[in-house]
Amino acid sequence: MSFSSGKPMDVFGPLWEDHARKIKERWCLGNDDVAVLAGDTSWAMNFDELESDFDFLKSLKGKKIILKGNHDFWWTSVSKMNKFSKSFGDIVFLHNNTFETEDFYICGTRGWLLEPGEKHDEKITLREAGRLRFSLECWRKTGSEKPALVFLHYPPVFGGEENSEIINALLEYGIKDCFYAHLHGSTAHSMAVRGEYKGINLHLISADFLDFYPCKL
């Protein structure tokens, strides 16, 4: 969203023109449903700029679970975000935790993108893999038979590069479905790895890839 930041979303291509209207019209969730927003929720730099975008989210039915994307510069500590979000309906944050729904547990973290030909940032990769394991461990400790679904912002595999730390964590915990975003535009979409990868079903859920319809699980 970009209601108060002055940064139009159509920089990502014509699919993003009038995106707020598309989201509003195609939001088919009810009050008891749960939506996971896989990062890059707002261009805002701080909570003041974030208010307009969260007002929009408040107008949409259902509980929203938000994880961090690479453009979410407003993201601070979970305690500060929880305090801010109290005025905007049922909004919670996926960060070193897990959330139970009727059929699943929701786990995840931002992740990290390994750019083809670029130097690998091992420190960030290990940190994000650690956060993912912590989230998955929260699920495992429940002892529930409900499966965990993993949500990342960055794709765990892209351009022939695998984020092995993330993939290994998914395999370690027996995760069957992993959802990710970040990739925008037809060129990036065409490069996305979707379907089964090492026994894990990878799903691209970027808003423009889904034509701004929620992905029903």
Q: What is the DSSP string of 82-125?
A: HHHHGGGSSEEE-SS--EE-SS-EEEEE------TTSPP-HHHH
Q: Which fold has domain 9-204?
A: Purple Acid Phosphatase; chain A, domain 2 (3.60.21)
Please report where in the chains the tokens 């995106």 appear, as a residue.
19
Tens digits of per-residue pLDDT, 110-148? 999 877 666 678 899 999 999 999 999 999 999 999 999
- Per-residue model confidence (pLDDT) at position 183: 94
- Residues of the chain with confidence (pLDDT) below 50: none
Residue 154 near residue 114 (C-beta atoms within 8 A): no
- Per-residue model confidence (pLDDT) at position 14: 75
Query: In residues, how long is the chain?
Result: 217
- Per-residue model confidence (pLDDT) at position 121: 85
Which one, of 192, 208, 165, 205, lies nearest residue 65 by Cα?
205
Q: Give the residue ranges of DSSP H helices in the chain.
A: 19-26, 47-58, 78-85, 122-142, 164-172, 185-191
Take residue 91 and report the two structure tokens written for it: 């909004």
- Per-residue model confidence (pLDDT) at position 4: 61
Rounded Cα–Cα distance for residues 47 and 50 (Å): 5
Angle formed at CA 214 by CA 210 and CA 215, multiple of 5 degrees: 75
- Per-residue model confidence (pLDDT) at position 117: 62
- Per-residue model confidence (pLDDT) at position 17: 84
- Per-residue model confidence (pLDDT) at position 151: 98
